């Protein structure tokens, strides 16, 4: 007589199987191979950092067959790379990640070369609002997982106990698993398929966070007591054209106070490209406002 635990066990195994039908292996990725998720018919995503420098990768399909996939686009910021191949199917069942709840059981599913499907289980341990990666890209939702990442899990899906995908798994800081939620993958995927890359705003400055003495900050009306010291101005760049000088300390962009280097990248999302934004800098102990026309960050 199948009991509660047996049902639960079967459900988890079914979820792995269901999700696994859309999980591929990318043997060249990372040190020991990584995974990929078939996101749409003919299109898979994987972790960009694991296949850097490759234009084409070998893949192992859910059927076990091997094929070649073209790297159709990559975004360093969100760690998403797009793979295209004719026989990538079926597409994963995507969930609305806004419905995810803290405490919900989740599985990280991957495929390892010939060994087949692999999974670890855990919980959603916290959910938060938008965050920025170390590369400055915006991720729409913070899904913190209590889950053991396993070798090759990157690029595979994070799925609910029903086998529905809530995001793409990749490695976070300190051997943790980070989740790029479905909404962010969709947004980045659309842009990558259209243009092959993600446009990012750009000032053309090198910066270093600095703290103001309390009295100076109060005198200038800077609440956060922090600014970004300009240590490099790219010749002919947007900042240079606007008259920003070496030694200026940027304190506000578009009226919003900056809180570290990430917040400057945050003020430079792709929708700002081509727009003029007001930049407050401290120069010679006084606040000066300049207008910088945000450009698109050049390709590396």
Partner 1 sequence: MTTTAVVNPEASSGISIGYSVGSISEWLRRVTVCIHGPRGTRGSGVIWQDGLIVTNAHVAVGKMHTVEFFDGRKAQGRLVARDPSVDLAAIAIEAAGLAVASIRSARELRAGEVVIAVGNPWDGEGAVSAGIVHRAAGTQPVIFADIRLAPGNSGGPLADARGNVVGVNSAIFQGLGCAVTSDAVKEFLKGAGVSEAA
Count the residues of the shown chain that bind partner 1, applying the rule CB under 8 A. Answer: 28
CB of 16: closest distance to partner 1 in angstroms?
A: 3
Q: How far apart are CA 164 and CA 167, in angstroms?
A: 9
When the beta carbons of 25 and 184 are compared against partner 1, the nearer one is: 25
CA distances from 160 to 16, 22, 36, 60, 165 (A): 9, 14, 17, 24, 7
**What is the nearest approach in angstroms of partner 1 to the Cβ of residue 35?**
12
Binding flag, residue 251, partner 1 (CB under 8 A): no
Q: Decide if residue 174 touches partner 1 (CB under 8 A).
A: no
Cα 211 from Cα 126, distance rounded (Å): 31
| Cβ atoms of residues 78 and 136 within 8 Å | no
Considering only 6-14, 80-88, 90-98, 263-271, which stretch makes contact with partner 1 by CB under 8 A? Answer: 6-14
* 131 scored as a contact of partner 1 (CB under 8 A): no
Of 53, 31, 191, 190, which is closest to residue 112 (Cα–Cα)? 31
**CB-nearer residue toward partner 1: 20 or 266:** 20
Q: Are 46 and 155 in contact (CB under 8 A)?
A: yes
Q: Which of 89, 93, 104, 120 binds partner 1 (CB under 8 A)?
A: 120
Residues 90-109 that bind partner 1 (CB under 8 A): 107
Q: Does 213 bind partner 1 (CB under 8 A)?
A: no
**Helix %, strand %, coil % of the chain (to 5):** 20, 40, 40
Parallel/antiparallel/unpaired status of strands 201-202 and 295-296:
antiparallel
Residue 57 interacts with partner 1 (CB under 8 A): yes or no: no
Cα–Cα distance measured from residue 105 to residue 123, given in angstroms and rounded to the nearest whole number: 5
Q: Which of 39, 46, 54 is nearest to 111 (CA)?
A: 46
Q: Which of 51, 82, 117, 239 binds partner 1 (CB under 8 A)?
A: 117
Q: What is the SS3 assignment for 139? A: strand
The stretch near partner 1 (CB under 8 A) out of 39-47, 56-64, 112-120, 265-273 is: 112-120
- Nearest CB to partner 1, comparing residues 120 and 241: 120
Selected from 103, 130, 151, 221, the binder of partner 1 by CB under 8 A is 151
Using CB under 8 A as the binding rule, whether residue 155 contacts partner 1 is answered as no
- For 241, 255, 271, the CA distances from 276, given in Å and listed in that order, are 12, 13, 12
Task: Quote the DSSP letter at residue 225.
Answer: -
Work out how close the CB of 297 gets to partner 1 at its nearest, in angstroms, rounded to a whole number: 37
Q: Would you say 107 or 294 has its CB closer to partner 1?
A: 107
Say how many CA atoms lie within 13 Å of 146 toward its Cβ.
9
Catalog residues that contact partner 1 under the rule CB under 8 A.
Answer: 1-6, 8-10, 12-17, 20, 107, 112, 115-121, 148, 150-151
């Amino acid at each position: 007589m199948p009991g509660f635990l047996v049902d639960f066990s079967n459900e988890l195994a079914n979820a792995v199987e269901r999700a696994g039908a859309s999980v591929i292996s990318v043997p060249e990725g990372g040190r020991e191979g990584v995974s990929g998720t078939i996101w749409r018919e003919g299109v898979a995503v994987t972790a960009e950092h694991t296949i850097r420098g490759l234009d084409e990768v070998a893949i192992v399909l859910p059927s076990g067959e091997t094929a070649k996939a073209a790297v159709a686009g990559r975004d360093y910021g969100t760690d998403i790379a797009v793979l295209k191949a004719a026989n990538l199917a079926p597409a994963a069942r995507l969930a609305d990640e806004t419905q995810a709840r803290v405490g919900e059981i989740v599985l990280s599913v991957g495929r390892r070369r010939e060994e087949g499907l692999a999974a670890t289980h855990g919980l959603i341990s916290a959910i938060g609002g938008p965050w920025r990666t170390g590369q400055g890209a915006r991720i729409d939702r913070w899904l913190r997982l209590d889950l053991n990442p396993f070798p090759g899990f990157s690029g595979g899906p994070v799925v609910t106990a029903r086998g529905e995908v809530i995001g793409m798994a990749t490695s976070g800081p300190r051997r943790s698993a980070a989740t790029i939620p479905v909404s962010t993958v969709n947004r980045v995927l659309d842009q990558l398929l259209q243009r092959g890359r993600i446009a990012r705003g750009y000032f053309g400055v090198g910066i270093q966070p600095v703290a103001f003495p309390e009295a100076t900050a109060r005198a200038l009306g800077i609440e956060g007591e922090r600014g970004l010291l300009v240590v490099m101005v790219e010749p002919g760049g947007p900042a240079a054209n606007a008259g920003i000088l070496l030694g200026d300390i940027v304190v506000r962009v578009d009226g919003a106070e900056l809180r570290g280097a990430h917040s400057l990248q945050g003020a430079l999302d792709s929708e700002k490209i081509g727009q003029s934004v007001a930049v407050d800098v401290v120069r010679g102990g006084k606040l000066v406002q300049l207008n910088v026309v945000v450009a698109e960050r050049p390709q590396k």
